[in-house]
Chain A
Amino acid sequence: MRPFDPKLLVAPLALLLACGAVPAVAGPSNDDCLGCHSDAVDAKAWEASIHGQLSLSCTDCHTDLATATEFPHAEKLRPADCTTCHGDAVAAYAKGAHAKAREAGKTVAAACVDCHGKHDILPKSDPASRTYVFTIPQTCGRCHGEKAKEYGIHEGDVLAAYVKSVHGKGLVQSGLAVSAECTDCHGSHAILPKSDPDSTVHKLKAPGTCGKCHQGIEPIYAKSIHGQKLASGDLKAPACFDCHTAHGISQTGTERWKLEVLEECGSCHEQSLTTYRDTFHGQVSKLGFGRVATCAGCHGSHDILPETHPASRVSPQRRQETCNRCHPGTNANFAMYDPHADIHDKDRNAMLYWTGVLMKGLLFAVFAFFLTHTALWLSREVIDRAKGGSRHS
C-alpha cells in the first residue's frame, strides 16, 4: 500500500481556501484502489464498461469507502450499492422472487452482479453485454439451465426447453431480435412467480404479456369464450400457455403440434375429446395424421365461441360453412353429421345408440354360438384322434 502523503493536499486546499470554501476530505481515487486491486479488477474492462465510460469512481458503488482514510480497509464490505443511480431498478428487484429467495437464505439466487456483471458491465445494447438480447437466455440459463435442480428450481431446465422452442430457435438460430427472450415475458428486475397475481406470467396477465408481441391475437382472444371467462377471473379458462405451453412453445402450423394440442383441449373438454376419438376424424388423428379436422379445425383457436353464439364456427348458422373448408360444396344435410356423437348416450344419439346395441348383440350371438360350436368340434376331433381314429373318423 502506497503511504498517504499529506503534502498532496496542500495545493487543492490552498486553492479552495483562496475561494473561500471549506471542502470535505476527498476519498481514495480510482488509481488508489487499483494500486491494490489491480489483480481483481480488469482495468481495461472497467474502462470499456458503461460505468468506466461515465468516469464513475470506485466509491460511487463501493460507498463504504467513500470517506475511508485508513488502508488497508476492512476485509468484509457491504455489497456494492446500486441504488445511488438505479434506485428504481433495485426497488423493483426487492419485490421479486430473486430478492425474496436471498432474504430466505438462498444466496445462490441472482443479485445484480449475477446478471449484469461487476466491473465489466455493458449497456444492454452492446453485443458483448450479458443483458444483450441474444445473450439473455444464456445469462438466465446459468441458474435456470442444467443447474436448476441443484439450485432447487422446481421448473427445471427451462433453458433446454426454450432453446428448442419456436422462440428459442427464432432468437438463437434465426437471429430474430424480436423473438421473445426471458425478460420479454418475465420482466427483468421485478420477476415474480407465476402464482403471484402481479406476475407478468400469472394466468390472468398472460394475454397482456403475450399480446405485447402478438398484438393481433390479443383482442381476438379477449372476445372469445376463453378470454371472457379468464377476464372474469375463472382460472380454469385456458390462457395462452395452457394451449401453447411456455418455455417449450412450438410452431403451431406443424401436424405434431395440432395433434398434441388435442390432449390439452381434452384436459378440460374430456367428454368432447372422447367422443371426437370415436369419429373418423379422431381415429385418423390418433394414428398421427394431422391433416384432418381437429378441435381448432372446426372450433377455431383464439376466436372460439359457444355453439349457441351465431358467430361461432360451429353454430347452426355457420356449421355448413365450416364443413365446407375441407368438404367443399357440401349441403345442409352434410352439416347434420354429429362430430361428437356419443354411442352410449341414448338421449343425444338414439339411432346411434340402438345401432350399437344391435351390432353388439349380433356379434355376441354369432361368436357365442360358433365359438361353442368350434370348441365342441375341436374336442371331439382331438379325442377321436387320441383314440387312434383315422383322419376321417
Chain B
Amino acid sequence: MSAPHSPSTQILRFDAKDRLAHIGIVISFLGLSLTGLPLLFSHSPWSARLARWLGGFETAGFVHRLCAGLMIAVFAWHVARLLKRIFVEKRYSMLWGPDSLVPQPRDAVQMFQHMAYFVRLGPRPKFDHFTYWEKFDYWAVFWGMFIIGGSGLMLWFPEFFSLFLPGWVFNIGLVIHGEEALLATGFIFTIHFFNENLRPSRFPMNLVMFTGREELEELQHDRPGEYERFQKAGGKGWVVAPPPPSWILPWGRAFGTVAIVLGLGMLVLILWAMAA
C-alpha cells in the first residue's frame, strides 16, 4: 500500500504525443475552416473579402491543401499509434472496459442519467476515464476524417479519381465535403468548445490538452468512477507526473485563446451567411 495521494497530485492523462497530435489537428482544422468557408458560403456578404484577405482564391486553395496534408499526416500518425498500442503493446483495455474509448452500453445509461441530472431528476453519473460526450467528440472526428478526407481528395485530384469514378460522383463529393465541413465547424465551435472549454465550470479554458495533466481533486469530481478505481488500486496503473514545465501554461493559454477566438469568429461568419 503506497502513501495516500494528496488532492493536488497530478495524473498524466495525455502523453506528449497525444497533445502534439491535438495541436496539429487544431492548426489544420482552423486553417481548413478559414480557407474553406469562403467557398462554401461564396454567396455571403463576407466571403469575397475574406478570400481576398487570405491572399486570393489560389493562395487560400494552397493553404487549404497544406492544412489538409497536415491533418491527414496527423491522423495517419494517430492511427499508427493506435495499431501499435493494440498489436504491439497488447493494450487490449483500449478495446473495451473502463479505459476504452469504444462506446459501451454504460455510456448510453450515463447519458440519460446526465440529462436527468440537468433537470434535477437524479445525481451526476459516475463518469470514468472517458465520458460519453468525449467519446462522441472523438468518433465524430474519426469517421468525419474519412468523409471529409475522402471527398476532399476526390475534389483535389479529380483527374485521378475519374479514372475509376463517374463524373456525377464529384457532384455528390462536393455536397458531402461542404455539409460535413459545416457539421464539423458548427459542432466544434459550439458544442465541443462548450463541453471542454466554455462551460462555467471549465471557463475560460481547459488546459489538459497542453499540460496533459489532471489533478486528483478534479478527477474526483469529474470522473468519480475513475477516482474510485484509482484509490482502490492505490494508484497502480496510473502515471503520477511532476508539474508541467513552466512555459506550457502561458503558451497553452495563448494558443488556446487564439484558437477559441478564431473558432467563435468563424461561427459568427457562418451564422451571418446563413441569415443573409
Contacting residue for B48 out of A288, A330, A341, A351, CB 8 A: A288
Interface centre among B52, B118, B163 (most CB of A within 10 A): B118
Known contacts being A287-B42, A289-B56, A363-B183, is A343 close to B175, with CB within 8 Å?
A: yes
Chain B contacts of A202 at CB under 8 A? none
Is A233 interfacial (CB 8 A cutoff)? no
Q: Measured between C-beta atoms, what is the minimum distance from B260 to chain A in Å?
A: 16
Is A371 interfacial (CB 8 A cutoff)? yes
Is B187 interfacial (CB 8 A cutoff)? yes
CA–CA, A279 and B168, complex, Å: 12
Task: Kindly identify, within residues 190 to 240 of chain B, every residue whose CB is under 8 Å from any CB belonging to chain A.
Answer: 190-191, 194-195, 199-201, 217-218, 221-222
Contacting residue for A337 out of B117, B171, B218, CB 8 A: B171
Is A277 interfacial (CB 8 A cutoff)? yes
Question: Which of the candidate stretches A71-79, A175-183, A217-225, A378-386 sits at the interface with the other chain?
Answer: A378-386
Chain A minimum-CB-distance residue to B40: A283
Chain A contacts of B159 at CB under 8 A? 327, 329-330, 334
B168 touches A286 (CB 8 A): no
Chain A minimum-CB-distance residue to B60: A287
CA–CA, A45 and B176, complex, Å: 78
A336 touches B199 (CB 8 A): no
Is B170 interfacial (CB 8 A cutoff)? yes
Is A331 interfacial (CB 8 A cutoff)? yes
CA–CA, A333 and B172, complex, Å: 14
Is A151 interfacial (CB 8 A cutoff)? no
A side interface size, CB within 8 A:
47
B191 touches A370 (CB 8 A): yes
Chain B minimum-CB-distance residue to A349: B171
Is B26 interfacial (CB 8 A cutoff)? no
Give the total number of A-B pairs whose CB atoms are below 8 A apart: 136
Chain A contacts of B172 at CB under 8 A? 351-352, 355
CA–CA, A374 and B195, complex, Å: 8
A330 touches B162 (CB 8 A): yes
B38 touches A378 (CB 8 A): no
CA–CA, A381 and B200, complex, Å: 6
- How large, as a class, is the contact surface on chain B? 35 or more
Chain B minimum-CB-distance residue to A287: B51
Is B186 interfacial (CB 8 A cutoff)? yes
CA–CA, A82 and B59, complex, Å: 66
Interface centre among B40, B172, B176 (most CB of A within 10 A): B172
CA–CA, A341 and B166, complex, Å: 14
Known contacts being A334-B162, A374-B191, is A392 close to B218, with CB within 8 Å?
A: yes
Chain B contacts of A374 at CB under 8 A? 190-191, 194-195
Q: Measured between C-beta atoms, what is the minimum distance from A235 to chain B in Å?
A: 31
Contacting residue for B47 out of A286, A352, A371, A379, CB 8 A: A286
B175 touches A356 (CB 8 A): yes
A287 touches B170 (CB 8 A): no
CA–CA, A310 and B201, complex, Å: 69
Q: Measured between C-beta atoms, what is the minimum distance from B22 to chain A in Å?
A: 20
Is A13 interfacial (CB 8 A cutoff)? no
Q: Measured between C-beta atoms, what is the minimum distance from A81 to chain B in Å?
A: 61
CA–CA, A122 and B38, complex, Å: 60
Is A373 interfacial (CB 8 A cutoff)? yes
Chain B contacts of A341 at CB under 8 A? 168, 171
A355 touches B176 (CB 8 A): yes
CA–CA, A286 and B117, complex, Å: 48
CA–CA, A339 and B215, complex, Å: 56
User: Measuring CB to CB, which residues of chain A are less than 8 angstroms from any residue of chain B?
Assistant: 277, 279-280, 282-284, 286-289, 327, 329-331, 333-338, 341, 343, 349, 351-352, 355-356, 359-360, 362-363, 366-367, 370-371, 373-374, 376-382, 385, 391-392
Beyond the given A284-B39, A333-B164, A363-B182, please list 17 additional residue pairs across the A-B interface where CB-CB is below 8 A: A282-B42, A287-B48, A331-B162, A333-B165, A334-B159, A334-B162, A335-B167, A336-B166, A337-B171, A343-B175, A352-B171, A356-B175, A359-B179, A363-B179, A380-B120, A381-B201, A392-B221
